[in-house]
Amino acid sequence: MVAAGRSAVDKRNLKNFIVLIIVALLIVAAFLLIANRGSKRDESPLARTAVEEVLDRDLSRNYPATPKEVVKFYSEITRCFYGEEYTDDQLVALADQSRMLFDDELRANQTDEQYLMNLRTVIENYKEEKRSISSFSVASASDVDYHDFKGDRWARLIAIYTIKTNHAFNTSKEEYLLRKDAQGHWKIFGWRVIEEAAIE
């Protein structure tokens, strides 16, 4: 009778022990799964470059909605041209992205090939002079000047670029003119430098 009772207790203890091991393994597995998800989430933003972020934007589906957003995105592309590392294929793709922001009249001034050739020359000059665009700011939405002219809707706004040359910094203040196209998209018609100054 005692042996049978002891055997029943041993079996119960063995079952409890096995259940505890299974629960412990499940807890460890759950912990490892959560830890792996967290580390993948942390790694992915670090792996993406500014160039990749610009090129990931599909302008046919996600075109900037306002003149400010158009100039901001164009400025992000410009900063990539003159301050980021990229492959030749990425340069061509960046050039295509920037041309998609241009008004038809501005695009008509150069073929895609001419634009790319001129762009390569300017980028090479920047590299030789050790220049890069370190930052930029675009006028607030309330500072955009809207007007109508000859049946078209126009917008004018200012962007300021901080340009690093060796260890010196300068600012370039540029005025952009945009026109709304038939699809309701704001397109860059042109721009001009209105002020350059050294940062003291």
Query: Position 142: which residue type?
Result: S
165 with 135, same domain: the answer is yes
Stated pTM of the model: 0.74
Backbone angles phi, psi at 84, to 5 degrees: -120, 165
84 with 152, same domain: the answer is yes
86 with 130, same domain: the answer is yes
61 with 37, same domain: the answer is no
69 with 41, same domain: the answer is no
For the stretch 22-31, contacts whose Cβ atoms lie closer than 8 Å and that sit 24 or more positions apart, written own/partner, are none
9 with 90, same domain: the answer is no
User: How long, in residues, is the chain?
Assistant: 200
Enclosing domain of residue 164: 50-198
Q: How many domains does the chain have?
A: 2
Cα separation of 141 and 138, whole Å? 9
pLDDT band (50, 70, 90) for residue 33: confident
* CATH code at position 104: 3.10.450.100
* Distant-in-sequence, close-in-space partners of 68: CB < 8 Å, separation ≥ 6: 138, 139, 140, 141, 144, 157
94 with 122, same domain: the answer is yes
133's enclosing H/E stretch is strand 131-138
Q: Which residue has the higher pLDDT, 26 or 7?
A: 26
Mean pLDDT of 103-128: 95
- pLDDT at residue 19 greater than cutoff 90: no
* pLDDT at residue 91 in the model: 96
